[in-house]
Copies of this chain bind each other. A is one copy, B any other.
Amino acid sequence: MLLLRRCHSLTRLGPVGTQRYRAAPSLASRAVRLCSSKRDDQRSYQHANNGASWKHIVAGLLTGTGVMLTYGLHHQEVERADADLSTTAESSCLLVFSHDEVTKHRSLEDGVWVTFKGGVYDITEFVAMHPGGNKILLAAGGALEPFWALYAVHDQDHVLEILSQYKVGELSAEDLKKQEDAKSLDPYSSDPERHSVLHVNCKKPFNAEPPPEILADSYITPHVLFFKRNHLPVPQVDPASYRLNVEGLPGGALSLSLEDLKTRFPKHTITATLQCAGNRRSDMNKVKQVNGLNWGISAIGNAKWSGVRLRDVLLAAGFGPEVAKWARHVHFEGLDKDVTGTAYGTSIPINKAISEEGDVLLAYEMNGEDIPSDHGFPVRVVVPGVVGARNVKWLGRIVISTEESSSHWQQHDYKGFSPGTNWKKVDPKSAPAIQELPVQSAITVPADGAVIDRSDETLTVKGYAWSGGGREVVRVDVSLDGGKTWQVAQLRSGDEGQPAEPSPPPGRAWAWKLWELTAPLPPEAEELEIICKAVDNSYNVQPDTVLPIWNLRGLLNNAWHRVKVKVTED
């Protein structure tokens, strides 16, 4: 059976390989054949043409880029490479290509070639398997280095191992020198300093969360502890020359300075919780491997955001009843860009953007101070009740449109799929872009694995709870016995001993609630499984377990949160 599948793979490899070489016959003939003395290169070349046995370590490859991993396809390709061990021939000699020749391979038709550290790679076949999708084509015909500097997650041995199998030659010595001379600086070199207490999930781009045990200590999360989820390097924005452009409205574009925003529109303040769609992904990873940054339970925070209403700016820019007839979406574009100049971008539905009750802000303050650079200085969109990914930082451009943003982050990433869907059959169009998030809660104290002293007699459990769409959390149930019995926790909307925030109007509960339960320690129990689950005012509840909501990107984990603690004698 295995043999049969391998034969089948061989058959499939044949024409693909043929097609690859057919794509560039003239170039191949113009290349200089070079007998390489470098062992590494030999091994690489063998990989490329014949394949060699190597491990299937792809999962988790592109965590941090927020892109989709076509693990299944790649797995298949590995099998093909394994199966093609027999036909070794002119594998010890490498072709030498000029930079000009490489640049001509920039499409699937002409082949997709890239260079890396002097090697030339024909990655045409890999494009369909690239976790980041077609974005890989941005590097076509040139050097990979600036892209990998941007998406530093590529800087791993197994990524190099994958690349090596596509090697077709070497860059000429002259062109290699030119390339090295022009090597770009690290685009992350001007990223701000961060607090050392943060747990870093990815350095470049920077993604980090605070330790859970301090997260629920303050109702308002200080900005240094607020989770940071960057898709690209932090842009350096000069507040004096900053412009926000509002486009797509009949009167033409409106360009606003920071001063305009601060002086021409009323200032509003909301307290709103932002949560990354990947919060609690690590619990999904525990039941079955997913792709994405391994967030714990702290990719969520609550802050006071001040700025102007998006609604007010849109009205000033010419939004009116006529526009309302056709406008359906509002696009946001950040000033954070990749090496090709592509900015982070996404969109929200127009009704959320224009509604007074939607409370969408163009915020220039976080917790009463200028928004820190990691959180979008000088202006970020705050779309309360909506997934973090739509709360675009370093906002540069707003566009009114009939369509959703066509960006990768709107169309491919940040969507939820059935647990039965895998990378082979996933259809991004089948699922809506995540906007409002479902009801959520987690236990911040005690930590999983904590040891409790039986002489304490009582146990205090703490955590947070929140729901998307302005739905207020109305109850948190806590179990100390793995879900057999439940007690109701105390909720609060402020710091302990401080006055609570005023109750929000219906449908506008943007801020989380902190909760706490102090209960007698169950006698004789040596281990407790502590669980929390929240209910919002639409009476939506959290699902019991992770596996039935598991999805290949590890998003939207809102299953009951569980921690186990040990109870010991003094």
Q: Which residues of A contact B (CB under 8 A)?
A: 349, 351-352, 357, 416, 418-421, 430-432, 434-439, 468-469, 471, 474-475, 477, 483, 485-488, 505-507, 533, 535, 537-545, 548-549, 556, 558
If A438-B539, A539-B434 touch, whether A548 touches B483 (CB-CB below 8 Å) is yes
In angstroms, Cα B435 to Cα A439, docked, is 16
In angstroms, Cα B507 to Cα A507, docked, is 12
In angstroms, Cα B541 to Cα A483, docked, is 19
| A483 surroundings in chain B (CB, below 8 A) | 548
- The answer to whether A420 touches B468, judged by C-beta atoms less than 8 angstroms apart, is no
Interface of A is mostly: loop
Partner of A474, one of B432, B488, B537: B432
- The answer to whether B351 touches A548, judged by C-beta atoms less than 8 angstroms apart, is no
- The answer to whether B540 touches A351, judged by C-beta atoms less than 8 angstroms apart, is no
Identify the closest chain B residue to A508 (Cβ). B351
- The answer to whether B351 touches A538, judged by C-beta atoms less than 8 angstroms apart, is no
Q: List 21 A-B contacts (CB under 8 A).
A: A351-B357, A351-B505, A416-B535, A419-B486, A420-B486, A420-B487, A421-B488, A430-B488, A431-B474, A431-B475, A432-B537, A434-B539, A435-B538, A469-B471, A477-B548, A483-B548, A486-B548, A538-B540, A541-B558, A542-B543, A544-B548
If A539-B438, A541-B438 touch, whether A477 touches B533 (CB-CB below 8 Å) is no
Minimum C-beta distance from A299 to chain B (A): 16
Minimum C-beta distance from A515 to chain B (A): 13
| A475 surroundings in chain B (CB, below 8 A) | 418, 431
Identify the closest chain B residue to A533 (Cβ). B548
Minimum C-beta distance from A569 to chain B (A): 28
- The answer to whether B539 touches A420, judged by C-beta atoms less than 8 angstroms apart, is no
- The answer to whether A545 touches B548, judged by C-beta atoms less than 8 angstroms apart, is no
- The answer to whether B540 touches A438, judged by C-beta atoms less than 8 angstroms apart, is yes
| A418 surroundings in chain B (CB, below 8 A) | 475, 477, 486-488
In angstroms, Cα B487 to Cα A550, docked, is 13
Partner of A539, one of B437, B474, B544: B437
